[in-house]
Structure 1
Amino acid sequence: MATAVAAVGPRDGANTWTVGNDVVLRTQNGEEVSGCVFAFDRQTNLLVIKENGSHSGVSNIRLIKASSIGEVLSSKQPEKPFDLELPHVDLERCRKREEKALQQAEMESARVGTGVTKEAQAIFDALVKTMPCVWRNKAIVVLDSVFVEEPYTPDNCRSDNEHAATRERVKMVLRHERDRLGL
């Protein structure tokens, strides 16, 4: 049996959220949200929407502050009673997703130079697409053997003699990328 819950709405003062209703709403910043009303917490003024996930059997739970809802575009009661049972959460899978996301964030943050110009970052971003690169202070280190120093031109590439061929390859790629970037 569906339960009706009154919510303080964004403009009109009172909307009715019925658990189990399929809703489509627009937030005040223009984002359209659709899903099933899972719950409404009067104390925190939070609406819980259960959205379809990216593939079958997966759901996303979204918490929305009712005061951030600009308008309710539609609300339909379910044909059959809403199942109030919480969906299964695979904690191990959540842990692995979190770990993967943290690793990805660390990798992406390592690709951002500290105290470098936008031009230097653009050169790094272009180089890293074709060769492994890391920042070492303000120098770009390519393939662990070639250093590209400010102002990041082919003339500012250095390596030991053992890696001369790699240095020449980096110079060629750097020249091409600088031309492509209009530098």
Structure 2
Amino acid sequence: MADEVLVELPVQNGNGVEGRHVALDTWVRVKTFDDTPVIEGSVYTLDPVSGFLVVKGVDSTHLVHIAAVQSVEIVAKDDESWESSHSSLNGRSSVPTSSVSEDKLRKLEVQNRELAEKALASIGKDVTPLGQSIFDVLSKTMPCHWEGQHIRVMDVLIRPPYDSRSCASSDQVMLDRIKKILDALHRKLAKQYYVVIDLHRVVPSCVLVLLSRC
């Protein structure tokens, strides 16, 4: 018999929260620090490198960073929510459960794992919010991946601080295209990102970046 796989999560305990090891496939409710709805589903995995928790819900798979998790509530099997969720899963098809082949189940598991790995790969490690924002925009229209803290867009390598001056490529046509895109992105982001210095002054964050380099 295979050993049970456990992950450590901030589990709700009475009025408080404590770190506790939870088995994979445990049905949980995950509450985050922001205003997003409570996530409910089974614990699929917790990536130890990126810190992302993957929860398989009834309708979709959720990806949330462990730092954003406020508390995790373990749902007992006799809970109405657990029974309702599993009834929904089992009642979606008129085909008996026994008729679902092992091959289909394996393909579904591989598909879910690939989706989770793709989502994890899109998150840069030790990169700035600006770098992540630029990656997210570029990846919507072009194939991108992280090489450490650098963004690789086809034959173009974009280094921090991810502007047109930090690009390199042997393909001049593609390089010029990426530079124009980056210049447009920086102009757009400069208008959107503002931070409050004190109660009376508001300064664009791009100015703060320049000041931080001095």
TM-score bracket, shorter-length normalisation: 0.5 to 0.7
CA distance in structure 2 between the partners assigned to 1:129 and 1:179 by the alignment: 19
Q: Which has the higher helix share?
A: 2
1:155 to 155, 165, 178: 165
Query: Cα gap change, 1:87/1:176 in structure 2, threshold over 3 Å: closer, same or farther?
Result: same
Query: Under a length normalisation based on structure 1, what TM-score does the superposition of the two structures give?
Result: 0.54
Structure 2 equivalent of residue 52 of structure 1: 88
Structure 1 equivalent of residue 105 of structure 2: 94
RMSD of aligned Cα (Å): 3.1
Query: Structure 1, residues 39-87: CA drift from partner, whole Å, max 9, x if none?
Result: xxxxx9522344335995169xxxxxxxxxxxxxxxxxxxxxxxxxx83
Instruction: List runs of 5+ in structure 2 lacking aligned partners.
Output: 1-28, 32-36, 41-74, 191-205, 207-214
Secondary structure of 1:52's partner?
A: helix
Query: Cα gap change, 1:178/1:87 in structure 2, threshold over 3 Å: closer, same or farther?
Result: same
Query: Cα gap change, 1:54/1:164 in structure 2, threshold over 3 Å: closer, same or farther?
Result: farther
State yes or no: 1:177 paired with 2:188.
Answer: no
Q: What letter matches 2:140 in structure 1?
A: K
Structure 1 equivalent of residue 142 of structure 2: 131
Query: Structure 1, residues 157-177: CA drift from partner, whole Å, max 9, x if none?
Result: 1112xx000000111111222
1:34-53, aligned counterparts within 5 Å? 46-47=77-78, 48-49=83-84, 50-53=86-89
How many angstroms does 1:118 deviate by? 1.1
Query: Cα gap change, 1:54/1:123 in structure 2, threshold over 3 Å: closer, same or farther?
Result: farther
How many angstroms does 1:179 deviate by? 2.4
Secondary structure of 1:169's partner?
A: helix
How many angstroms does 1:115 deviate by? 0.9
Q: Percent identity?
A: 28
Runs of 4+ in 1 over 6 A off after TM superposition: none
CA distance in structure 2 between the partners assigned to 1:157 and 1:101 by the alignment: 34
Query: Cα gap change, 1:164/1:58 in structure 2, threshold over 3 Å: closer, same or farther?
Result: farther
**What is the total number of aligned residue pairs between the two structures?**
116
How many angstroms does 1:97 deviate by? 0.8
CA distance in structure 2 between the partners assigned to 1:166 and 1:159 by the alignment: 8
**Alpha-carbon contact 1:159-1:167 (below 8 Å) kept:** yes
